[in-house]
Structure 1
């Protein structure tokens, strides 16, 4: 009897290995025309802050048509390789570096400092099967000084790009496109702000 139980147990199928979430990033660096000479003063870029809902590695979506659009939902089988704030910081640094020297905050090498907050970075479903990638970025440009910090300008960028499919891959594709457009707009805005007069 023991042998029969053992043989029947051996014939049972083994459980499937748990599938690992697919990793995603924002793809190759953003192609921006670079200048051989700096077109503006050096800029210090701080790490982008974000709301708790998008500060992890989950690929987030929202079902606006179901009445609970305020609830962010993570895809089970999709993950960012870094958190969205880190990915967007990297993308923004690449974009800005094409037009001017970019350094880290606290080095004392730049008369201008850019701070940013990522308020939305999600795939938004307006109906079943219909979605878009939405990126909302708040920018604050300051002139840091030992005596007093001057506010040079504030700007909010909101970009929406349609998702090619109603799944994680479609959401990632739309968020890549929206991020690239948001970075282009951010670079253009920073360039449009007059450089602070030396004190």
Structure 2
């Protein structure tokens, strides 16, 4: 075996070791979460149908800028409740505002209301606007967390405010991590949708 051939083998081995080292030092893969499939949870079965509104224009949920990206945030209430921290290797499949919009619209439709978009709006159809005030996973301790969603809902008819109410739900997470937070936030959104349906049923038809 010549000296130059030996050097080439050594160079190839060094390159292979370098590539392997880079591969092994690569961090965990990013994991995406959403609210899961649309089923028929018990919270919706118990909610009365919003018969006063056979059809409703439901605008997309609006909210603060931090909810308009796909990062998953949490708060350590036992350490610094004012600091919102992002998960390093977990994210949403869409923004929280988009996930909330899709879920609430689907649940309202399940409640017997024909849901229209703002582009499909026709004269005389009431409008429901939703604004998210809170959407967070909060840790009370290292091993215990819960999800909280707060929405401000406003119903308009012919550009006049019919009623406005704030809804908030807190659901304990089954695990103190991103998957547990995602499940709890999905459950909180379902519960709020049921609350909104029950509220709509109390409003005057005209």
Corresponding residue pairs, total: 189
User: Of 138, 145, 169, which residue of structure 1 is paired with 2:179?
Assistant: 169
Question: How far did residue 109 of structure 1 move?
Answer: 4.8
C-alpha separation between the residues in 2 aligned to 1:101 and 1:39? 11
> TM-score, normalized by length of structure 2?
0.82
Alpha-carbon deviations, 1:91-117, whole Å to 9, x = none?
A: 111121132211112522553110001
2:160 paired with 1:150: yes
What is aligned with 1:126?
A: 140
C-alpha separation between the residues in 2 aligned to 1:100 and 1:171? 29
- Give structure 1 stretches of 5+ with no counterpart: none
What is aligned with 2:15?
A: 10
> TM-score, normalized by length of structure 1?
0.85
Change in CA separation of 1:65 and 1:136 when aligned onto 2, cut-off 3 Å: same
Question: How far did residue 40 of structure 1 move?
Answer: 2.9
Change in CA separation of 1:11 and 1:88 when aligned onto 2, cut-off 3 Å: closer
Question: How far did residue 195 of structure 1 move?
Answer: 1.9
2:33 paired with 1:24: yes
The answer to whether the Cα contact below 8 Å between 1:30 and 1:95 also exists between their aligned partners in 2 is no
What is aligned with 1:85?
A: 97
Higher RCO (Cα < 8 Å, 6 or more apart): 2
User: Of 177, 184, 192, which residue of structure 2 is paired with 1:182?
Assistant: 192
C-alpha separation between the residues in 1 aligned to 2:30 and 2:167? 30
User: Of 61, 78, 93, which residue of structure 2 is paired with 1:48?
Assistant: 61
Question: How far did residue 191 of structure 1 move?
Answer: 1.7
Question: How far did residue 80 of structure 1 move?
Answer: 1.1
Higher alpha-carbon Rg: 2
The answer to whether the Cα contact below 8 Å between 2:52 and 2:200 also exists between their aligned partners in 1 is no
Change in CA separation of 1:103 and 1:129 when aligned onto 2, cut-off 3 Å: same
The answer to whether the Cα contact below 8 Å between 2:73 and 2:136 also exists between their aligned partners in 1 is yes
Change in CA separation of 1:133 and 1:39 when aligned onto 2, cut-off 3 Å: same
Alpha-carbon deviations, 1:95-145, whole Å to 9, x = none?
A: 21132211112522553110001111111012222110111111011112x
C-alpha RMSD over aligned residues: 2.2
